[in-house]
Structure formats: structure tokens, C-alpha cells
Homo-oligomer: A and B are copies of this chain.
Amino acid sequence: MKLRELGEDRLLTRLLPSLSIRKDVIAAAGDDCAVVPPPRGKNLLLLKTDCVVEKIHFSSTADPAAVGWKAMMRPLSDFAAMSGVPQFALITLIVPAARSTTWVKKLYRGLNKAAAQFDVSIVGGETSNTRGPAAISVSVSGFVEKARWVSRRGGKARDDLFVTGRLGGSQRGKHLRFVARIKESRWLTKNFAIHAMIDLSDGLGADLPRLAHASKAGFKIDMKSLPLSPGAKIDNAISDGEDYELLFAISPRDRNHLQKAWQKKFPKLPLTRIGSFLPPSSFIPHPFPSGFVHFQ
């Protein structure tokens, strides 16, 4: 069946009962807004929106469940970058009326599965027809404790720079399967003073300069230290993008303790020191390839 034969109300009626909703949600999809409890005590409210677009972020032949997974995990990766706890998601689905309802159901299955990984409730959504490629926008709200919030701005000269996981070659499949590093990020801020953090969505070559710029720092990278995905080369680690790993700055005094504790807590996930921040006047020693910059 095509979407145009079903109509929006009936589509949502079919999809919504399948969503797992936290018990603290007061009103979810089916009313004009979602009504949810606010962050408790002195916690701060976090908000993020992100989108995936057909033919840009996923191919038309991609498994719709994987597309849904990716659409949800992208904003969750931004929550990881701030060490936030995601709680509620809203979905905007822009899909041609000729698309099959099966495609949309599978997409929602992926959205829901990714949300469930972190106990996030899908509390509302909107659907629209389009005469072009499909697009899925996901906005997420949640909270972070005042003392654990990590911005891009707090890095200091001589901080160590660490990355989680391996970089490069995401297009071989990882970009549709990655898990936002929320667990790792929450552990980091529970146990260490993280000065600045960002998730690597556009590639180290684009995101590291952003982190450095926000922290008013220079940086140096030991290219040979970069943790490479199987089959990836240094250029891939710098420019491919869509790694969704964490890049963070931390005092070198914490280096030994961090590396030992990490190895014990996450034995399967590499944590690699790739360089350090420098005083702001320092030149970037390697001319970085430009990384993935939208519109270019």
C-alpha cells in the first residue's frame, strides 16, 4: 500500500502503538504537543535536531530500518558530545506519497530500536508529502547535570587530545550501524574532568579545527598515531567523516589514570591519544584536508 492511499492519521495510528514510551510521558503523539516532565532539580535542558536526506546521507536502496537507526543515532551522538542524557524524540518524516507504507514501518522500526538503546521515547511526529527525495529530521530533548556539561569551549593549551574507537571508512557500513557514544561519555564525565568534547560527524579534519577554534587553542596531531578502521588510511581518518566517535581534551595529568581505567571499563573499544592542544598562536603543523563540509 502507498502512503497516499492510507492518509496521515491512519499511518500514525498504525505506527504509534508499536512505540515504547517511558512511563513518565504525560502526553505523546496524538495531541498537539508532547507533554513531558522537565529535567529535575538543577539539571539543564538539552535540545538537538538533526536530519538525514535521501541521496545525501543514505542511498535510495538502503535498508529503511538502517536509515531510521542512523536518523535517530545522529542527534544522540551530539548528546554524547555534551555528556547529556537523551529522553524524548520527535520525528519529522518527509516522504513521497508514492512510497510504500512498508518502507515507513521499517524506518520507524529502526528509529524505535535506536531510541530504545538509550531509553528514549518517541513522543511525537509530523509527516509531510514531498515531490523529492525522502528526509527524516529527528529532534531530541534531555538533560545534563550542571557539573557534567561539556562544551566545545573549555579546552586548554597542552591538554591531551583523545579519540574513541577507530576512524575512516565509515561508508563501508558503519555510518548506518554506529552506536552513539553516550555510555562512554557519561562514564568519562562521571570519573574525569573533560575540558572540551565533540563528536566526529564531519571527519577529524573538519571537527578538530572546530573544537580548537571554540577552545581558542592551536593543536598538533601525530598522524601516525591515528587509530584506523580496517582498510582505512590516514587520509580516510581525516576526511571521510561519519565516524561518530568522541574527540575530547583532558589535562595530561589525568593521562595514565584515564588510560588504565578506560582499558578496564571498555576493553574492546580503543582510546587513543592523538595529539594535544597548543597555545592559540601555534600553527597547525599539518595542512589538513578539508574534511566533509556540507554544500561543498
Q: Does A204 contact B (CB under 8 A)?
A: no
Among B81, B124, B133, the residue within 8 A (CB) of A49 is B124
In the complex, what distance in Å separates the CA atom of A197 from the CA atom of B33?
12
Residues 1-36 of chain A, each 1 if its beta carbon lies under 8 Å from chain B, else 0:
001101111010000000000000011001111111
Which residue, of A8, A32, A129, A141, has the highest number of chain B Cβ atoms within 10 A? A32
Which residue, of A33, A81, A130, has the highest number of chain B Cβ atoms within 10 A? A33
Which residue, of A27, A43, A127, has the highest number of chain B Cβ atoms within 10 A? A27
Q: Does A108 contact B (CB under 8 A)?
A: no
Among B38, B78, B125, B128, the residue within 8 A (CB) of A33 is B78
Min CB distance, A118 to chain B, in Å?
14
Q: Is the CB of A92 within 8 A of B4?
A: no
Q: Residues of B contacting A109 with CB < 8 Å?
A: none
Q: Is the CB of B44 within 8 A of A37?
A: yes
Q: Does A152 contact B (CB under 8 A)?
A: yes
Q: Does A132 contact B (CB under 8 A)?
A: yes
Q: Is the CB of B124 within 8 A of A56?
A: no
Q: Is the CB of B152 within 8 A of A32?
A: yes
Which residue, of A31, A51, A129, has the highest number of chain B Cβ atoms within 10 A? A31
Q: Does A253 contact B (CB under 8 A)?
A: no
Binds B, one of A143-151, A161-169, A233-241, A279-287: A143-151
Q: Residues of B contacting A152 with CB < 8 Å?
A: 30-32
Copies of this subunit: 2
Min CB distance, A110 to chain B, in Å?
18
Q: Residues of B contacting A277 with CB < 8 Å?
A: none
Residues 61-78 of chain A, each 1 if its beta carbon lies under 8 Å from chain B, else 0:
000000000000000001
Q: Residues of B contacting A88 with CB < 8 Å?
A: 47
Q: Does A84 contact B (CB under 8 A)?
A: yes
In the complex, what distance in Å separates the CA atom of A119 from the CA atom of B84?
26
Q: Does A53 contact B (CB under 8 A)?
A: yes
Q: Is the CB of A97 within 8 A of B45?
A: no
Q: Does A276 contact B (CB under 8 A)?
A: no
Q: Is the CB of B141 within 8 A of A32?
A: no
Q: Residues of B contacting A232 with CB < 8 Å?
A: none
Min CB distance, A150 to chain B, in Å?
9
Residues 269-296 of chain A, each 1 if its beta carbon lies under 8 Å from chain B, else 0:
0000000000000000000000001111
Q: Residues of B contacting A139 with CB < 8 Å?
A: 47, 49, 90, 92, 137, 139
Known: A55-B131, A130-B135. 9 other contacts (CB 8 A): A9-B210, A31-B214, A36-B45, A38-B39, A38-B45, A47-B124, A50-B126, A56-B131, A137-B137
Can you give 10 A-B contacts (C-beta < 8 A)? Answer: A6-B295, A30-B214, A31-B151, A32-B79, A33-B81, A36-B45, A38-B44, A50-B126, A53-B94, A130-B135
Closest 5 CB pairs of A and B: A132-B132, A32-B81, A139-B139, A8-B294, A49-B90
